[in-house]
Structure 1
Amino acid sequence: MTSTKLYTVIYVVLFVLATVQVLIEQAGFLEEAYWTAFVVIMVLSAVKALFVVGYYQHLKFEPRAVTLVVFAGLLGALALTAAAAYSIL
């Protein structure tokens, strides 16, 4: 069983990553260096997603096949998000 302390640390990490994403958007980097800001935000989103599925959805303790199926879905979602962002330009 995972401890409450670990869940708290993961929550704080997720909160900090989300704050960094908002600061990047609010700082105006999207107007100056759109693709750089976009890549940074996408990487941070992927890291957050890995924390969520790994610990809060307990995939860390599942068989590898289940984990691979979820990661394939994650890659598909990231690809669709990237395609949507590209089509806005």
Structure 2
Amino acid sequence: MADVRTYSIIYVVLLVLGTAKFVFFELDQIFTEQMAITGTVILAVIKSLLIAGFYMHLREEPRSISYMMTIAVFMVFLLTVAAGYSIQ
């Protein structure tokens, strides 16, 4: 299990990434809307991986559980794409 220092560093990184997502949309002179959306999605993926890896302790679990979680997330993604396709 990670120590308090590691959790504090992860918390600060998550705080900085959350602030960066806000900055993308506020500095519209520098970032276009497409750049802001792309950057926000990339930062959201990074934040999700940090939260799942450290706070949900997936780094310490056997690899089979991590693979099962990855497959489950991929299946949810496929269902979302299928639902979006059926709405059109």
Shorter-chain TM-score: which interval? 0.7 to 0.9
- Over 3 Å counting, the alpha-carbon distance change for 1:19 and 1:56 in structure 2 is same
Matched, 1:57 2:51: no
Residue identity (%): 26
- The residue aligned with 2:35 is 36
CA deviations 1:15-46 (Å, max 9, x no partner) are: 000000011122236xx622221111111000
- Over 3 Å counting, the alpha-carbon distance change for 1:77 and 1:40 in structure 2 is farther
Instruction: Pick the structure with greater CA Rg.
Output: 2
Give the number of aligned pairs.
82
TM-score (norm 2): 0.74
Higher relative CO (CA 8 A, sep ≥ 6), structure 1 or 2? 2
- The residue aligned with 2:24 is 24
TM-score (norm 1): 0.73
Structure 1 segments of 4 or more deviating over 6 A? none
- Structure 1 residues without counterparts, runs of 5 or longer: 85-89
Provide the aligned C-alpha RMSD in A: 2.8
